[in-house]
């Protein structure tokens, strides 16, 4: 009864069942996996705790990635909030996103949301908004369900894998998920949530996956940062009444086709893009000695 494969189907269920977006997504999960509502809620709440801990660890500790390419950037940005050109909330969200990527690259515990390589975007957005606007825990957990439902649609109709679709499938999807979640938090309708997601994914359409030396460090960490800002901007646009000319389902289909057209060199093989520039190749030689 509650199953959906497209955004249009999910929105229709919200209307016909007279349920908010996260509740339909929870009901679909219950139905598909034969689980109780409280079990599903507990699991998602635990994921939120892990996200929160990864941010704290990334900001407070002097972490160094296994490859040595990143570490300490989250702290630098967080302690520069007072002079942030992009505003406190956006800069805080970006610093939190960096924090999670640094925890991930130092072999710490994170939530793949939807992947490890894009794990900073969704928690960065949600935790910054939680702190600056005092959203209750229940509302934040509901926002995670919104992100999950949206990610499910992308996974069914395209891909979440950088090896298959480039970084548009990882940071692009995560940015779309975060944009929808942020829109939901501030009271946006299901239509507005998907408008925000469509604009976020469009903005990162064609993004290649080119990890230097095959490590999820550069340019991955800073792409999480810019994708976080992208999510918040798209949420703002949607809440202001700006609509995506291309519907979300069509953007997802376009992303899938773009990924299929990408050269294998641009899909997580570390053979193209930033991974193939002289600085990256010199570094790769040093770690392969």
Q: With CA atoms as reference, report the closest residue to 67 among 247, 244, 216.
A: 216
Q: Are 285 and 279 in contact (CB under 8 A)?
A: no
Q: Is 84 left (phi over 0), alpha (psi -120 to 50) or beta?
A: beta
Mean pLDDT of the chain: 97
Distance CA 121, CA 181 (A): 11
219-235, pLDDT tens digit by residue?
Answer: 999 999 999 999 999 99
* pLDDT > 70 fraction of the chain, expressed in percent and rounded: 100
At 267 the three-state DSSP class reads: strand
Residue 245 has what DSSP assignment?
A: S
Band (255; pLDDT cuts 50, 70, 90): very high
Whole-Å CA distances, 69 to 86, 109, 211, 282: 25, 19, 11, 13
Distance CA 47, CA 29 (A): 16
Q: With CA atoms as reference, report the closest residue to 211 among 266, 286, 285, 169.
A: 266
At 31 the three-state DSSP class reads: helix
Before 114, cis peptide (omega within 30)? yes
| Burial label, 6 (beta-carbon count in 10 A; 0-12, 13-18, 19+) | middle
Structural tokens at position 157: 């109709």
Distance CA 208, CA 272 (A): 9
Band (287; pLDDT cuts 50, 70, 90): confident
Q: Are 58 and 99 in contact (CB under 8 A)?
A: yes
9-36, pLDDT tens digit by residue?
Answer: 999 999 999 999 999 999 999 999 999 9
Q: With CA atoms as reference, report the closest residue to 179 among 90, 278, 60, 261.
A: 90
Band (289; pLDDT cuts 50, 70, 90): low
Distance CA 136, CA 141 (A): 9
With b meaning 16 or more CB within 10 Å and e meaning fewer, what string describes 270-279? bebbbbbeee
- Name all domains of the chain by residue range, CATH numbers in brackets: 7-287 (1.10.4100)
268-286, pLDDT tens digit by residue?
Answer: 999 999 999 999 999 999 9
Residues whose CB is less than 8 angstroms from the CB of residue 149 and which lie 6 or more positions away in sequence, other chains included:
4, 10, 21, 22, 24, 25, 28
Distance CA 39, CA 105 (A): 30
* pLDDT > 90 fraction of the chain, expressed in percent and rounded: 97
Distance CA 180, CA 4 (A): 17
């Amino acid at each position: 009864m509650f199953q959906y494969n497209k955004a249009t189907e999910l929105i229709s269920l919200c209307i016909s069942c007279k349920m908010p977006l996260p509740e339909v997504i929870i009901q679909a999960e219950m139905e598909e996996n034969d689980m109780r509502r409280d079990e599903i809620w507990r699991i998602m709440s635990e994921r939120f705790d892990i996200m929160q801990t990864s941010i704290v660890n990334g900001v407070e500790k002097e972490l160094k990635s296994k490859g040595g390419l990143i570490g300490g950037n989250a702290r630098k940005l967080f302690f520069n909030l007072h002079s942030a050109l992009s505003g406190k909330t956006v800069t805080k969200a970006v610093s939190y996103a960096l924090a999670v990527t640094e925890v991930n690259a130092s072999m710490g515990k994170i939530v793949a949301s939807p992947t490890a390589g894009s794990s900073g975007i969704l928690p960065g957005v949600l935790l910054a908004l939680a702190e600056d606007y005092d959203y209750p825990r229940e509302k934040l957990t509901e926002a995670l369900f919104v992100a999950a439902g949206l990610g499910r649609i992308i996974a069914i109709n395209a891909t979440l894998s950088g090896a298959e679709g480039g970084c548009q499938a990882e940071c692009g999807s995560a940015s779309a998920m975060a944009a929808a979640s942020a829109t939901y938090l501030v009271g946006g309708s299901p239509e507005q949530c998907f408008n925000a997601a469509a604009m976020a994914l469009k903005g990162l359409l064609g993004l290649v996956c080119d990890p230097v030396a095959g490590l999820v460090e550069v340019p991955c960490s800073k792409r999480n940062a810019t994708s976080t800002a992208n999510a918040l901007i798209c949420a703002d646009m949607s809440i202001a009444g700006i609509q995506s000319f291309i519907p979300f389902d069509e953007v997802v289909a376009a992303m899938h086709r773009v990924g299929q057209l990408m050269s294998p060199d641009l899909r997580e093989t570390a053979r193209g893009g930033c991974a193939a520039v002289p600085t990256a190749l010199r570094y790769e030689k040093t770690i392969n000695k």
